[in-house]
A and B are shown apart, each in its own frame.
Chain A
Amino acid sequence: MTLVKTNLNRRSFLKVSALAGGGMMLSFSWLAGCKPSSEEALSLPKEWFDLNSYIKIGDNGLVTLMSPNPEFGSNVKTSMPMILADELDVDWKNVIVKQADFFPERYDRQFTGGSQGIRQGWTPLRTAGATARQMLVNAAAQQWKVSAEEITTEAGMLHHKGSGQQASYGEIASLAATLPVPEEINLKKFDAFHIIGTSRKNVEGQNIVTGKPLFAMDRFQEGMLVAMIAHPPAFGLKVKSVDVAAAKAMPGIRDVFTFQTLSDDYERNGFDTTTFTELVAIVGNTTWEVMNAKKALTVAWEEAADKNVVVKGWNGAESILIPGGIESTEGHKTRMEEMARKTAEVLRKDGDPDAAFKKADKVIERTYTAPYLAHNCMEPRNCFAHVTADKAEIYGPIQAPEFIMQALSARLGLPKEKIQINLARMGGGFGQRAYGHHMVEAAVISQKMNAPIKMIYTREDDMTYGIYRPTYTATYRAALDKDNNLIAFHVKGGGIPEHPVSANRFPAGAVDNYLAEGWKLNSNITIGAFRAPRSNFIGGAEQSFMDEVAELAGKDPIEFRLELLRRAKNNPVGKDNDYDPDRYAGVLQLVREKSQWNEAPSNVHRGVSAYFCHNTYVAEVLDLVIKDNLPVVEKVYAAVDCGIVINPDAARNMGEGGIVDGIGNALFGEMTFVDGVPQKSNFDKYRLIRQKEAPKAIEIHFVQNDLEPTGLGEPLFPPVFAAVANALYKATGKRFYDQPFVNDLQTSEMRM
């Protein structure tokens, strides 16, 4: 058992109160687990401890758990309450989970992204559950006049063996609510878990399969109007003039007007938009009428000039140039090739790479590229807003409500307390829904119309608005000595507008002479977080290159990686290596065993890949066959080390999704630009992976250990790109360097 404290200096981590109709409510802080260990977590700075979630125990024994983190499909709404329910010792079938709305004063931080939900919630959720349980035990001890130590709990019941007394939580809850919160409580030993580690169904399953209104898109309110926006058709353009007459005269249309979302001098955070700050709004009675009016709209656009905006990030405020001008993919390629030849910022250097490359027996150099990607959440951007003179209600899909609150408040001229953001289930997020511009737009339109409105992007609006995954490139060099040892390694990566290199990741630490460099170019094409930012490119590039280096060294690709990891463990080079070589090797060994790596069926072409990001280690083996000149992914094996797995079947679902998404983007994902115009605007042109292209089978194996849990939404995604490339190489004899691979596949005898 782990003993943890429940109280903090100034504010209480946990607070108890009685429920009006009987029962108890325990409020607690969800954020207390930003640091992974319990000891650390509970000695966090006191200002992190705002009360931000609660347990309700009704006198009927029903337990309600609030889930503050917005849900976009990673199943936090099920798995996070499971952690709490386990420590509380309740029967899962008596637990009701509710989505908490955004209450900054009560919850402080409500963010889903970066695969951090479970990791950050682990300790505070357990502490809260265990504390509530202890209070129920204390109350029963008082009522029965026995020692609390003699009371046991099970499935929402309290038992005292000696006297034979028993009671349900519900019967004791009202009394428990009057007791002080214990100063210290014991957390369970891991082997005592009875909910954690068992598969539990999605708490929203029934609502989803029966089509219940769970999404902001589904919101309806009497008197509600429908709004759409028109944004510039190209990056680098802005509104010159609008002829609203024709659109306004269309049936069902209430108003057509231009509006400003954020002014150029507004101090932004990293999740605010920098372009398309002036839009045209079309407001009417129904979606179809507004869609038609949007088509009748004539807008003249003009080129936008250079501008500077101030963006406040982790390291303070920074002025960023948003260049004017019209950009194209062709131009980007040329500029990126130029940059790749120039000197770049040195991110890490160990030993003497120059000298090592000079004296090497063999040197290999390869360049990898990847295009911009659109997130393409199945639910296009949308938001409901009802803004009146003194308050605003916003209901929409948002991963990071706190980051848009400031913009809403500034733009609406309302203090934050007057703005209520309610969190809808999201029809996909993938990072894109961390950017809340759609909320500002809906709110401004509602304010202007003085009516509740639901703003909807068409698929075309959504795909061409921006906030894309950046375009990247990386050039790798490796040097082998005459015994085929890797003696030097060099990565130089760049992108628009950021570089993808994480300098302290593998193989840093495993090579004596190591150099990592990065460069970047700015642009007016907006970008944003996309499932495993940066890793989603560099993981695949690095692991494709490793495959080729292993081949050049005449070594088995898994054994080659393990050899390097042994080096990193026994005699690490440099410092700040950000991975644990044993856990890294562990997933490689597990995938080797599970895939029977050395006994691949003869018609199967296999690729292997391994990566560590978002605190989780993943290795994957992908089996590909060629059928009628078409590559078919027969099977993917994944080995994952994410510590304790809370909800194994849901975890596997997440993992399968990451793998399918990775295969899809490796093969098909691509957004290009001509004269600033995104070249794809709907699913007829933008190819997404479909049922037929999905792997025929996926096997996910978790490393069994007692380590604290880490996330799963992202880590299975980056390595797949290389697993696909490496398997395609085996099948075709050709290496694939440029994503999406379909472009090169179409020119071979193969078709996809």
Chain B
Amino acid sequence: MAIFNLNINGKKQQVEVDPATPMLWVLRDHLQLVGTKYGCGIAQCGACTIHLEGQAMRSCQLPVSAVGEQAITTIEGLSEKGDHPVQKAWLEHDVPQCGYCQAGQIMTAAALLNSNPDPSEEEIETAMNGNICRCGTYLRIKAAVKTAAAS
């Protein structure tokens, strides 16, 4: 057990956990930030995607001890009112079915647009390829990313 001072969604948070604990479980179990989802635990599905200093990151493979001062953003902190351009585009295209994968999809998409505001079709496909949607909403995801990029 060790104490970690984290910077999550612009807020200082202190947790006392095993240093090997993945950020996914720190968020979900210790901070009740449950928007970040568990899907596979082995960096294969993208359900657990968060931002570390603005970069998309699989939180299931990110030990809390590796975070340090770096800023973490989760789906809860992507925007104050749920009106980030990506979230708005998601609603416009009515993307979700079951919804379980969508926080991860949105976080990946938002990180892509941070670094590449006008991605090509292929760049979108490549960036989003690590996020599985079992319900098969891929076409709407791609369309929503394009809409968000255009806004």
Contacts and interface: CB of A to CB of B under 8 A. Distances in A.
Interface of A: 72-75, 199, 201-202, 204-206, 208-215, 217-218, 220, 226, 251, 286-289, 376-380, 425-430, 456, 458-459, 649-650, 653-654, 656-661, 664, 682-684, 688-692, 694-695, 697-698
B40 A459 contact: yes
Contacts of B99: 73, 204, 208, 214, 425, 427
A695 B129 CA distance: 13
A655 to B, nearest CB: 10
A427 B100 contact: yes
Contacts of B34: 211, 213, 217-218, 220
B29 A378 contact: no
Contact of A660 (B32, B126, B138): B138
A227 to B, nearest CB: 13
Nearest to A717: B136
A379 B136 contact: no
Contacts, number: 184
A7 B55 CA distance: 61
A688 B141 CA distance: 17
A378 B99 CA distance: 9
A220 B131 CA distance: 26
B98 A691 contact: no
Given A378-B98, A379-B37, A379-B100, A691 B141 contact: yes
**5 shortest A-B CB distances, which residue pairs?**
A211-B35, A660-B136, A427-B100, A73-B98, A211-B75
A218 B31 CA distance: 12
Interface string B107-147: 00000000000000000111011111111111111100000
Nearest to B29: A286
Given A75-B97, A378-B98, A380-B38, 6 more contacts: A211-B76, A378-B135, A427-B101, A660-B138, A683-B45, A697-B139
A427 B39 CA distance: 10
A301 to B, nearest CB: 23
Contacts of B101: 378, 427
B102 interface: yes
Given A210-B82, A691-B125, A691-B141, A287 B94 contact: no
B37 A691 contact: no
Interface of B: 1, 17-18, 20-22, 25, 28-30, 32-42, 44-45, 47, 74-76, 78, 82, 87, 90-91, 94, 96-103, 106, 124-126, 128-142
B135 A73 contact: yes
B140 A426 contact: no
A683 B140 contact: no
Contacts of A214: 99
Given A217-B34, A656-B139, A379 B98 contact: yes
16 contacts: A206-B82, A209-B96, A209-B106, A211-B75, A289-B18, A459-B41, A459-B42, A654-B97, A657-B97, A657-B136, A661-B135, A688-B132, A691-B138, A692-B126, A694-B138, A697-B139
Contacts of B98: 72-73, 377-379, 425-429
B37 A205 contact: no
A439 to B, nearest CB: 18
A171 B36 CA distance: 43
Contacts of B20: 288
B139 A220 contact: no
Given A378-B39, A378-B45, A459-B41, A650 B136 contact: no
A658 B136 contact: yes
- Residue with the greatest number of chain A CB neighbours at <10 A, chosen from B18, B74, B138: B138
A656 B143 CA distance: 13
Nearest to A649: B94
A664 B137 CA distance: 12
A199 B91 CA distance: 13
Contacts of B76: 210-211
A234 to B, nearest CB: 21
B94 A683 contact: no
A213 B37 CA distance: 10
Contacts of B106: 209
A666 B80 CA distance: 42
Contact of A653 (B28, B131, B140): B140
Contacts of A658: 136
B35 A659 contact: no
Contacts of B74: 211
Nearest to B45: A683
Contacts of A213: 34-35
Contacts of B38: 217, 287, 380, 456
B29 A226 contact: yes
A209 B142 CA distance: 15
B2 to A, nearest CB: 12
A429 B98 CA distance: 9
B134 A209 contact: no
A658 B126 CA distance: 23
A658 B44 CA distance: 22
A234 B39 CA distance: 23
A199 B141 CA distance: 18
B136 A690 contact: no
A653 to B, nearest CB: 6
Given A211-B36, A217-B34, A684-B42, A694 B136 contact: yes
A698 B139 contact: yes
A378 to B, nearest CB: 4
Given A210-B82, A683-B40, A683-B42, A690 B30 contact: no
A659 B17 CA distance: 44
Nearest to A72: B98
Nearest to A252: B18
B29 A209 contact: no
Most buried by A among B17, B76, B96, B130: B96
A695 B136 CA distance: 10
A204 B98 CA distance: 10
A659 B129 contact: no
B91 A657 contact: no
A429 B99 CA distance: 12
A640 to B, nearest CB: 16
Given A202-B94, A210-B35, A458 B41 contact: yes
Nearest to A211: B35
Contact of A73 (B22, B42, B97): B97
A287 B29 contact: yes
Contacts of B35: 210-213
Contacts of A217: 34, 37-38
A430 B98 CA distance: 11
